[in-house]
Amino acid sequence: MQKFTTLTAIAAPLMIDNVDTDMIIPKQFLKTIKRTGLKEGLFYEMRYDVSGKKNDAFVLHRSPYDKAQILVSGANFGCGSSREHAPWALLDFGIRCVIAPSFADIFFNNCFKNGILPVILPKDSIAQLARAAEAGKPVNVDLEKQTVQAEGQNIPAYRFDIEPFRKHCLLNGLDDIGLTLQKLDAIASYEVKQQQQMSWLYAE
């Protein structure tokens, strides 16, 4: 998993409450277990009409937001079904951070497991960031300091909370597999001990 330390990037404003996982990645794109190629389905029904024609007005189709790495959105982001393809699709597009007033629990947890930082800020702070994003100002996210600030804003950086363990995992690029691999010596020691104490398990 890619580490998350600091990020200064264009932020795309998608100021809609209750953005659910079917909006993020519709069901027809869930046939794969690969984490690549899903950007084509990201917000598909908002990016294209029923005939497949591109909706040029959608924010992620407009420059500079087509290169956005940060998404600023409304409350209850990621609600709906518990599809891990949702953070996969965001990450495949290049989104490393989603900033919203609140998140659905399962989506929130899945973000951390896939190297995406979900940031919870008050609605008034979100509104300020959305205005800065609409003006094309880059936004800086500093995980170590736990701050968010848009360039050119003459106000203090917004501070966000994060659990220390999750912060540690993101800073060091550790998903569940990475955390397990840190215990290889202990695992190997256990296996040797088990072979000695329960040799019958290994008998041919």
Q: Give the pLDDT confidence score for residue 182 in this predicted structure.
A: 67
- Taking only the tens place, the pLDDT of each residue in 158-174 is 999 999 999 999 999 98
For 36-71, the pLDDT digits (tens) are: 889 999 999 999 988 888 999 999 999 999 999 999
Sorted by sequence, the CB contacts under 8 Å of residue 155 that are 6+ apart come out as: 128
Concatenated DSSP letters of 125-141: HHHHHHHHHHTT--EEE
| Inside any domain, residue 197 | no
Number of domains in the chain: 1
Residues in CB range of 152: below 8 A, 6 or more apart: 132, 137
Specify if 32 maps to a domain: yes
Structural domain of 139: 6-173
pTM: 0.88
- Using an 8 Å Cβ cutoff, are 126 and 189 in contact? no
82-96 per-position pLDDT tens digit: 889 999 999 999 999
Which has the higher per-residue pLDDT, 53 or 17? 17
Q: Which pLDDT value is given to residue 193? A: 80
Which residues neighbour 181 within 8 Å (Cβ) at sequence distance 6 or greater? none
What integer pLDDT is reported at residue 179 of this predicted model?
66
Look over the chain and give the mean of its residue pLDDT values, rounded to a whole number.
91
The CATH number covering residue 82 comes to 3.20.19.10
